[in-house]
Structure formats: structure tokens, C-alpha cells
């Protein structure tokens, strides 16, 4: 069965600094997608960034970028120039290409220090 592991329950970063959140996953599939979701205190899930497994190029969305290491099954999220509004729970997630289900990791709570 596919699993998603986030080994950092909590992290803190100084405002304007850069932080990297780790995620590893386990799958035997070749066709899949990876996501990072943000859940702020409002509890609304927000898609931060997504990566198709077949793409070698790492996805980037403004201050958010990923380091996708397919062979190592690693999918880390880098947040540059951290802002107070980035404080939230971040979930790494996996989805098989032929399936609709998303499997979430346990999450990493990110604190931004002013």
C-alpha cells in the first residue's frame, strides 16, 4: 500500500528566511502525482504545489518550490522568503494516476517567527 511520511511534526523559521519541509513516499507505481497542501487555522485546505511523477523538472509556484527525487521517493517543499501568512499545517499527499484517492501524510506544523 502507498504511504506518505512526513518526519517533521513541527518546524519553525524566521520571517524572510527559507525553510524546507520533508516528505517521503512509498509506491510501486510509475504513474502518480504528488502534492503539498496548506491548512491554515481556518482549516480550509489549499493546494500549494503539485508535481507529476513523469516530469523531471521540479515544480515551482512563486516562493514555493519542490525538490522531487523520484529514485529516492522524496518530495520536499522549500518555502523562500517566509511570511507570517505561511504559518499553517502542511500536508504532503500522493495520488495514483488511475485513482481518484489522495493519501495524506501526517502533516508538519510550520511556525513563522517574526
Partner 1 sequence: GAVVSQHPSWVICKSGTSVKIECRSLDFQATTMFWYRQFPKQSLMLMATSNEGSKATYEQGVEKDKFLINHASLTLSTLTVTSAHPEDSSFYICSASPLAGGWDEQFFGPGTRLTVL
Which residues contribute to the site for partner 1 (CB under 8 A)?
33, 42-47, 50, 52, 91, 95, 97-107, 109
Q: Please, which residue, 76 or 80, has the CB nearer to partner 1?
A: 76
Across the chain, the runs of DSSP E, i.e. the strands, are 3-5, 10-14, 19-21, 24-26, 32-39, 46-52, 60-61, 64-69, 74-79, 88-96, 102-104, 108-113
Cell numbers found for residue 88: 499553517
Nearer to partner 1, 17 or 61 (CB): 61
CB of 59 to partner 1, least distance (A): 12
Q: Least distance from C-beta 69 to partner 1, angstroms?
A: 19
Amino acid at each position: 500500500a502507498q504511504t506518505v511520511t512526513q518526519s517533521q511534526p513541527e518546524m519553525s523559521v524566521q520571517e524572510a528566511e527559507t525553510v524546507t519541509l520533508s516528505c517521503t513516499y512509498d509506491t510501486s507505481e510509475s504513474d502518480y502525482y504528488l502534492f503539498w497542501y496548506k491548512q491554515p487555522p481556518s482549516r480550509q485546505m489549499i493546494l500549494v504545489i503539485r508535481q507529476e511523477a513523469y516530469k523531471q523538472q521540479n515544480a515551482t509556484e512563486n516562493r514555493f518550490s519542490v525538490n522531487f527525487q523520484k529514485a529516492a521517493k522524496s518530495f520536499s517543499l522549500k518555502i523562500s522568503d517566509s511570511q507570517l501568512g505561511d504559518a499553517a499545517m502542511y500536508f504532503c499527499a500522493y495520488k495514483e494516476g488511475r485513482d481518484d484517492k489522495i493519501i495524506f501524510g501526517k502533516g508538519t506544523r510550520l511556525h513563522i517567527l517574526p
